[in-house]
A and B are shown apart, each in its own frame.
Chain A
Amino acid sequence: MTKTDFPPSILSRPTYGVLSPRPGPAHLLIADGAGAGAVLDLLGAADAGMAGGSHLIYLPGPDGTDRTAELAALALAQFHRAPSFAAALPRLRKVLGDAHMGVQIYLAGSEGLIGQAQREVMEAGLPHDAVQTEHRGSWVRRVQCVHCKGITENVATDPFLCSHCGLALFVRDHYSRRIAAFQGVNIDAEDPGSVPPPVEKFR
């Protein structure tokens, strides 16, 4: 699978490109699930020196895709397989805090992973243009309930039930990079109880 073509949308909805190697003293790669394919393509296109300057943090995708073995075989300077984004976070923050100017950052995989990693990069104060992103694999969404503020991960259907407050929410394309989530709004607020059947929109 290659680059995802999302349907046209509103301007707050993130868009993604294709990773391409850039010169730099160090390369930080963060990927999940099918994002492994983007990492493999990236290193395949790069000159041989890149692997020796690369640190890859990889986690299984929201659909269970896990290509750890192939990535481990790349013989990068540092490779870390984390079981989840939450588990990867302390390491990611340390690495971003230690990063020097000129570091190149590559994010690949699900939107939830890319969005959360991008937020960490921004909060670490690294320049926006040091970051490249590529979406691969699952389309599931990270959605914030605008009512209770709880975030539901891996939302596949519209509407869905908020995993925190239980309200039936419809999924907007309106997206906050600060929260790294799409917005969920109660679908039956005006006519309580009339919730249309969920449709699988984000595989």
Chain B
Amino acid sequence: MGLTFKDETFREDFTFFNSPAAIRRFPFPFPEDSYMYSVNMEPHVPGRPGSVFEKTFDVDEHYVAEMRERARVLAEDPLRCQSLPHMTLAGWDLLELIMEAKAREYPDWFSLQRDGNRWHWINRPLEIEQTFTFLDETTLPCGPMEYITRQTQGDFSLQDQRNDNLWMDAGMVTTQADWSLDFDLGMNFFEWHAPVPLAHEKQIFTRALKFLMNVQHGAPARRFNWTMTIDPLLDTSPENYPKWGPSRATLTPENVGRRMHLRVELQTFFRLPRSNALAFPIRCYLIRFEELATQPKWARRLHRVIRDLPDELAAYKGFLRNKPIMVDYLAQFDDGTPTSPGWWAD
């Protein structure tokens, strides 16, 4: 594996950027020239080699830096990782799922040896080696969900399934698009989605919940969500909004290409075998407008999507005030020619 992990930051001097290879494999989320909420679910099966869909849990050039960033967020605010007492078994399920997938799909970087309940885990990129007893919390430095998600890119929430609903009863949330795990912990599917505009009226959440409750072990699903972030800031939390909010007033036509980032969430859904909980990894990919503009189809399409997006959605996603600057910038890449169907670059 010829990948080198970059030494980069997601705060202060913001040295994060995507290599040309990372740009080519970026998960551009728009299959057509317009966007509206829908139940956009598909099976999470291995996709094109090299793409972010190739592996169960994509590990990319930002891995080590993202894990370092997660550790900093947790040191500042331990409430970003919480698990209600009945969710420990789901945490072990998640640990097993991730360790097995990574060891199988990235054998150069990760290894897992199981001898009954004695497990030996090696994570070479993070220089971690751990022997522990599966299902015995005292043999890990922290709870199983926290242990494995400190070593896995993306946020995670674990949903208990009972009373015909899903309950967000555990999570590791440090790279979120402006929602609070601490506040939403213990809510059901309709409650934590309550702030989303338009989608309830379209019955999207009743249909999505029905789908999710039937996700079977071994048959995961996936979907995309997206928003916009100024500077490559992973931690756009409501907790820290007074710190990052002012950046929204600093966007100009001169800096928009460098500072505005399309933020894509590759969301996957896994049924867990012992707890019957539903694991929800939310993997965040950032790409600055300048990087995205190197792919003519994407820039053309993004211009049309943003230009025609209902203000209600732009307001909810937090970029209504900057929409004109963004649309003006993107317009230079749109010559009006048609775009090919699907999200792959031409």
Contact = CB atoms under 8 A, between A and B. Distances in A.
Interface of A: 10-13, 144, 146-147, 149, 167, 172-179, 183, 185-186, 189-192
B129 interface: no
A11 B200 contact: yes
Contact of A10 (B183, B195, B239, B249): B195
B194 A10 contact: yes
Interface string B314-325: 000000010000
For the residues of B in contact with A, the DSSP-based class is helix
The 8 closest A-B pairs by CB, nearest first: A189-B245, A12-B194, A178-B186, A10-B194, A12-B191, A11-B194, A190-B245, A11-B190
B6 to A, nearest CB: 30
A12 B187 contact: yes
B218 interface: no
Contact of A149 (B182, B185, B246): B182
A111 to B, nearest CB: 16
A174 B194 CA distance: 7
Contact of A176 (B187, B193, B321): B187
Interface of B: 79, 180, 182-187, 190-195, 200, 238-242, 245-246, 248-249, 321
For the residues of A in contact with B, the DSSP-based class is loop
B200 to A, nearest CB: 7
A190 B249 contact: yes
Quick one: which of A172, A189, A192 has the most chain B CB within 10 A?
A189
A9 to B, nearest CB: 9
A186 B243 CA distance: 11
B94 to A, nearest CB: 22
Given A11-B200, A147-B241, A189-B241, A179 B194 contact: no
A172 B180 contact: no
6 contacts: A10-B194, A11-B190, A176-B186, A178-B185, A189-B242, A190-B321
Nearest to A122: B186
Contacts of B246: 189-192
Nearest to A165: B242
A57 to B, nearest CB: 25
A186 B195 contact: no
A119 to B, nearest CB: 10
A105 to B, nearest CB: 19
Contacts of A11: 190-191, 193-194, 200
A146 B194 contact: no
A166 to B, nearest CB: 11
A181 B153 CA distance: 32
B183 A183 contact: yes
A8 to B, nearest CB: 12
A191 B186 contact: no
B184 A176 contact: yes
A177 B184 CA distance: 9
Given A10-B194, A11-B194, A190 B187 contact: no
Contact of B195 (A146, A174, A177): A174
Contacts of B191: 11-12, 175
Contacts of A190: 245-246, 248-249, 321
A173 B185 CA distance: 16
A183 B185 CA distance: 13
A142 B200 CA distance: 26
A156 to B, nearest CB: 22
Nearest to B238: A146
Contacts of A176: 183-187
A159 to B, nearest CB: 14
A12 B194 CA distance: 6
Contacts of A167: 242
B193 A146 contact: no
Contacts of B242: 147, 167, 186, 189
A99 B185 CA distance: 27
A177 B186 contact: yes
Contacts of B182: 149
B335 to A, nearest CB: 34
Contacts of A185: 238, 241
B56 to A, nearest CB: 32
